Copies of this chain bind each other. A is one copy, B any other.
């Protein structure tokens, strides 16, 4: 009997955890497991804003796949996925092709710029290791240039963050810590630097507890962050950002606009012909695509409705990790004929960091946290994931233990 081919696309939270679980539950004689990823490393998407600000080195954020995956049990292919052909059960890669019996799609997100002119060309996004460390270097380069020009250019020192959601706010917190360091490094007066957040909603972190939102704004404002809420970004150019608020147009000279206001599923999903809802596959309860019973979709590419609120669950690491347990179980059930499980998200809590020494959060549905306690909770969440993914040795290597500063 031919061993079934399990192909997992993407080594993000979902794909990586699914692979780890499958390599534990499936013997090498039961299936061929292949993991495909564009890099030979996995990274913690939820830490990228720290790499982008320059407060954490990107090598802390990325994890070599070979350090977590047992290469004698899983075949790892470092390649870029070009297209998926579900009717032929094939995946086209840049340098080859794979046949599968079961497919797991965990290709993650892309920035969504909603057609705002100039954003795609001129704004930075915090999407991966390359784009995150580029933001760090871009800011530093502009600070280094500042005193080398006889006519000082304030646009070099204005940093605009588009979007006051989770990523935007966490990035602002790191910037607030980082900017004073950059000022010292390049002999720049701190008062010349502006960190400006532009958010379309009347408040940052829409949907979050108002008391915690106020706490976050106070914390960030006290460290120099300016908030412009209820404002729509109209345009981004190479040297400025234009927004509209209360019918008034304002232009901010800046060379650094970081767009943190929207993500969408990897465009490959839509291109490959899966039934989708704005790029995402509205998966069945067992995490399978509605039109193909051998294709599972996980993480940011999967759409799951919250029946209580009538809105989709947000694309978070927490949900992707939870899905991996169900996906790994169901992949095994699919090839061995067992019973499928249903996925039910369980939101344990949400914590947003505000730099290395402040945070806000809600856990167990209604318990509010802020300040030191919330920073500790954030690190516990991060460390718990490392433990699940690679055990104690990975936790010791990449964990965050500086809980007392």
Contacts and interface: CB of A to CB of B under 8 A. Distances in A.
Interface of A: 130-131, 133-134, 136-138, 140-141, 144-145, 147-148, 185-186
17 contacts: A130-B144, A130-B147, A130-B148, A131-B148, A133-B144, A133-B186, A134-B144, A134-B145, A134-B148, A137-B137, A137-B140, A137-B141, A138-B141, A138-B144, A140-B140, A140-B141, A141-B141
The 6 closest A-B pairs by CB, nearest first: A137-B144, A141-B141, A130-B147, A137-B141, A134-B144, A130-B148
A140 B134 CA distance: 10
Nearest to A143: B137
A159 to B, nearest CB: 16
A147 B38 CA distance: 12
A133 B185 CA distance: 10
Contacts of A136: 144
A186 B136 CA distance: 12
Contacts of A140: 137, 140-141
A19 to B, nearest CB: 22
Contacts of A131: 148
Nearest to A146: B130
A130 B144 CA distance: 7
Given A134-B148, A137-B140, 6 more contacts: A131-B148, A133-B185, A134-B144, A134-B145, A137-B137, A140-B141
A80 B185 CA distance: 22
A195 to B, nearest CB: 20
A145 B186 CA distance: 21
A5 B145 CA distance: 37
A138 B53 CA distance: 18
Contacts of A138: 141, 144
A122 to B, nearest CB: 14
A186 B51 CA distance: 13
A185 B141 CA distance: 16
A140 B145 CA distance: 13
A116 B198 CA distance: 46
Contacts of A137: 137, 140-141, 144-145
Nearest to A124: B148
Nearest to A137: B144
Contacts of A148: 130-131, 134
A34 B145 CA distance: 31
A258 B249 CA distance: 43
A138 B144 CA distance: 9
A147 B144 CA distance: 22
A138 to B, nearest CB: 7
Task: Tell which of A131, A138, A141 has the most Cβ of chain B within 10 Å.
Answer: A141
A320 to B, nearest CB: 25
A134 B147 CA distance: 9
A111 to B, nearest CB: 13
Contacts of A133: 144, 185-186
Nearest to A138: B141
Contacts of A130: 144, 147-148
Nearest to A41: B187
A32 B183 CA distance: 35
A372 B186 CA distance: 34
A185 B62 CA distance: 12
A136 B186 CA distance: 12
Contacts of A144: 130, 133-134, 136-138
Contacts of A147: 130
